[in-house]
Amino acid sequence: MSVLEAKQARRTYGRRVALHGFDLCIERGEVVALLGPNGAGKSTVFDLLLGLIAPSEGRITVFGERPHAGMRTRVGAMLQDAGLPEQYRVGELVRLVARSYPKAHPVDETLDRVGLAPRRRQSVATLSGGERQRLLLALATVGGPELLLLDEPTSAMDVESRRSFWEQTLSAVERGATLLFATHDLAEADAVADRVVLLHEGRMIADATPAKLKQLVPSCLVTVATDAPRATIGSWSGVKRVQPAAPGKGVTPEGLALVTVSAADAGQVVVPLVKAGYQVEQLTIVDADLEAAFMHLTRGGSTDRLPIPVPAQPGVLR
């Protein structure tokens, strides 16, 4: 049984459509990023999964049931607009939440895991932005939930705090949790997620591994010093463009032309060069990154290179 599933879920607010026909299936133990800019529909998905709102059309299930209050002991949530009671001490607040769960982790262990053990006696009001995010993570994980839902969890953190946060969060996954997190940070999704679900203007336009998404970009850049004529390279299958390298770097001391080649795949440049016996020096290959894939897809790029779509299955594109 899937941990959560959405089938053609649609949510409207009057005439405005916040989510269009959303399909998603997440299995136990997966780490899935819900990626998209502000206003893409990420928070709407979280509200639906938590039962805070109901779909206008379609179906949402968590642990095989429609979301309801009785599931709160199995789900840990960290929402973007969550507030914290300022008057509590850190340890007191975590202990209070832990009492709501039948199999909660020890409070001291939880605080130590998120790096707040030295702050256990401080009031919530004295915490920095990054420490507040860590406290929200402690509140989301102290109950030992089976499913973690984190909405833009690192938005207020610096680089070091973000690295520490993900180390702590992924340790919860290692202990058996399933994780769905929303982010607009492409590097974060690439580094953390097994799968990336891409939302754009309320529509799911991709559901695939980061590596598969990168393959959608129609070109990579190959820079090479070679004696092959530019016109010859440009005639090869898959080559989009051949141009001289940056000014001042057009010719090597050996008299080889330094060129940059845009191609669908690096092999479409390197293999013909080698087979034809041309000289190959100073070879560098820049692969597509997730940012390039994101821009390609949100600007209407083709998804023909991926498998035929199958609703609510991981690893395919819409």
pLDDT at 178 over 90: yes
DSSP notation for 231-258: HHHHTSTTEEEEEE-STT-SB-TTS-EE
Q: Give me the residue spans of the domains in the chain.
A: 4-214, 220-287
Question: Highest mean pLDDT: which of 71-75, 265-269, 277-281?
Answer: 277-281
Give the tens place of pLDDT for each residue, 78-90.
987 778 999 999 9
Range 34-50 average pLDDT: 91
The answer to whether the predicted template modeling score (pTM) of the entire model surpasses 0.75 is no
Into which CATH architecture does domain 4-214 fall?
3-Layer(aba) Sandwich (3.40)
pLDDT-derived band at 18, boundaries 50, 70, 90: very high
Top CATH class, 220-287: alpha beta
Helix-helix angle 129-141:159-174, to 10 degrees: 0
φ, ψ of residue 258 in degrees (nearest 5): -95, 115
- Please give the C-alpha separations between residue 117 and each of 112, 121, 167, 248, in angstroms, as whole numbers: 5, 9, 16, 56
- Asked whether this chain's domains 4-214 and 220-287 adopt the same fold, the reply is no
